[in-house]
Amino acid sequence: MALQVNVFMQNQPGRLAKMVHVMAEAGVNIRATTIASSEGFGVAKFLVDRPAEAAAALKAAGLSAALQSVVAVKMDDRAGGLDKILPLLSAQNVNVKDAYGFILARGSEAVFVFEVENPDETEKFLREGGCEVMTAYSLYGL
């Protein structure tokens, strides 16, 4: 199962730059990111090649970082690509807490990354449903 790094922060100029600088200095490569904020605070979520090292470096720099399990599924980069995955989740009463996606090859492959309550169980039934669930190794190696 893959991990992403969640960083909780005040929404102020320079905060994101500090996070990115800390990870760059640690030799961590960012694969994807998403940021959400509300009322002056936010969370930045980073999919990186070495999540444990990224979290440790961020914590050492005084930032509030935590590792979060995620499920990553390869899908077709075309209209309806998500329509193969989401009905499987719905049929199992799985709630997607948060999600983001990115393209690997335009018009060919994309990745849908999402947080759920039981990622191991979710990965299992998605594989059984014919989805290509990415391993941590393959995801970090992108």
Average the pLDDT over 34-43 and give the result: 88
Q: Where are the domains of the chain?
A: 2-69, 71-140
Q: Domain 71-140: which topology?
A: Alpha-Beta Plaits (3.30.70)
Question: Mind listing the pLDDT tens digit for each residue in 86-115?
Answer: 999 999 999 999 999 999 888 899 999 999
DSSP state of 84: G
**pTM for this model (two decimals):** 0.89
Q: Give the rounded distance of the alpha carbon of 104 from its chain centre.
A: 14
> Alpha helices, DSSP H only, in the chain?
15-25, 51-60, 86-91, 119-128, 136-140
In this structure, which CATH number among 3.40.50.300, 3.40.190.10, 3.30.2130.10, 3.40.50.150 belongs to the domain 2-69? 3.30.2130.10
